[in-house]
Amino acid sequence: MEERRKMKRQPTMRYGFILGAVLMTLGLGLQGGLGPVEWDKFAWPVNIYVLAGFLICIATLFLLRKKVAPFRFLGTYQAVIPTMVYAVVLTMAMGLTRQETGGIWLHHMLTFWPFVLIYVLMAFILGMTILIQLKRWAAASFSPSSFHFSLLLHLGLFLAMTTATLGNADVQHLKMVAFKDAPESRALTAENTVYNLPLTIELKRFLLDTYADGTPKRFASELQIQTSSGSHINATVDVNQPVEVDGWKIYQYGYDTQEGARSRYSILELVRDPWLPWVYAGIIMMLAGALCMFLFKR
């Protein structure tokens, strides 16, 4: 009789779906009242403080999970599965709707509050799962097993998710007009403010190949790039074939279409994402964990 009562008190996936529905409703209210999530406000160093606070919250929930039933629930599959269902549905909605810069609601899902809150919940659950696995790992043998590599996979997923999200505010997109034989170190932001680069770029030669009807087939720029350390790099930047120097990716963006092959300048796009190595590290950990789980499965 007592065991039956305990079974009735056990949380079910229904609670997970209710929690997701509450977050969706809260998100819709925030979207209507405050507007979309403004990721620009999470630029460095705010994002590192948010990450530290997030990790402290997860650790606190983990330590209190035996005393607080809702916290314990976040470490169970009854919470994981409903959250994944919500995340998959929202991700599918993102794939089926046109995403636009400056779009609203479903047309810019990365700033859509319900989408963000569901993924925050998923990160919380993932963090709790990692801490539970770490506790088990400390008591387990150190011989390779699928359990250990599952931990590696979860750590990689958590690292990739959090750094890709919080690092988004630090991504820089700049435009530069590089003239022939004229070194340039200034570029423009999306708000048309001047940004002084730690690089100097000089256009040495502009290349243009055309089809028989005169439409561009290929256009590229031969550049000489001087880094902050004083070294010189000669590189050819082609469409969809950027060159990377000191953390900056330099893309071919445009040219003087009136002059064509005689263009005296080239328009370049420069992109910098300082969090990208952490995202790549997380992806590598995920792939390594998944591969090792397959190779060492028992």
Q: Which domains are seen in the chain, by residue range?
A: 2-139 (no CATH), 172-272 (2.60.98)
Res 229: pLDDT: 84
Query: Measured between alpha carbons, how far is 260 from 210 in angstroms, rounded to an integer?
Result: 10
Predicted TM-score (pTM) above 0.85: no
Q: Is the pLDDT of residue 1 over 60?
A: no
Q: Is the pLDDT of residue 144 over 80?
A: no
Closest CA to 123 of 90, 86, 92, 159: 159
Closest CA to 240 of 274, 200, 269: 269
Tally the C-alpha atoms within 13 A of residue 99's C-alpha that lie toward its C-beta: 12
> Could you read off the pLDDT of 101-115 as tens digits, one per residue?
766 777 888 888 999
Average pLDDT over residues 164-190: 90
> Could you read off the pLDDT of 127-143 as tens digits, one per residue?
999 998 888 776 665 55
Average pLDDT over residues 281-298: 84
Closest CA to 177 of 189, 193, 188: 188
> Could you read off the pLDDT of 247-286 as tens digits, one per residue?
899 999 988 888 888 889 999 999 999 999 999 999 999 9
Report the C-alpha dihedral over residues 256, 257, 263, 265, rounded to 10 degrees: 20
In angstroms, how far is the first alpha carbon of the chain from the final one?
Answer: 38
Q: What tokens were used for 10?
A: 């056990």
Res 142: pLDDT: 52
Res 147: pLDDT: 62
Residue type, 146: S
